[in-house]
Amino acid sequence: MQQTTACNAVHTVEQRTCKWLVRMCDLVGTELPVTQEFLAQMMGVRRTSVTGVASQLQKEGLISYSRGNISILDMNLLQRRACECHRTVRELYAAEFDDTERTALPFRPSTCR
């Protein structure tokens, strides 16, 4: 919880959007049934902010999106654009729950892990 609060205070909307996309990919894969409105609500920002970031990420080939669906096209670049908070939370989770096999693995494009 503290990590999320700090993240919201110091990281840009772009970094946080990338972080959320990486996290969701980690949970469900590269095809995300999620709207920009949902992402905006999760981050506590306006939808127009997410729309601007999503447009830029799509232009740069990191994602593709259409109504209610976001496809991750380049996980490596998306991870580099994300803030470090996702990795920090994964490492804390691994330490707390001794889940090193799942959380210590690097992401692979097909499975995001």
Quick one: pLDDT at residue 10? 62
Give the range of the structural domain holding residue 58, as residue numbers without chain letter. 2-104
Q: Which of 3-7, 56-60, 99-103 has the lowest mean pLDDT?
A: 99-103
Quick one: pLDDT at residue 32? 94
What are the pLDDT digits (tens) for 14-70? 998 998 899 889 889 999 999 989 989 988 899 999 999 999 999 999 999 998 899
CA distance 48 to 41: 11
CA distance 64 to 76: 15
CA distance 98 to 16: 26
In-domain check, residue 111 = no
In-domain check, residue 43 = yes
In-domain check, residue 113 = no
107 or 8, which is more confident: 8
pTM of the model: 0.73
Q: What is the CATH number of the domain that holds 55?
A: 1.10.10.10
What are the pLDDT digits (tens) for 70-86? 999 999 999 999 887 76
Q: Is 71 exposed, middle or buried (0-12, 13-18, 19+ CB in 10 A)?
A: middle
In-domain check, residue 96 = yes
Q: How many domains does the chain divide into? A: 1
2 or 105, which is more confident: 2
In-domain check, residue 110 = no
Quick one: pLDDT at residue 70? 94
In-domain check, residue 109 = no
CA distance 108 to 113: 5
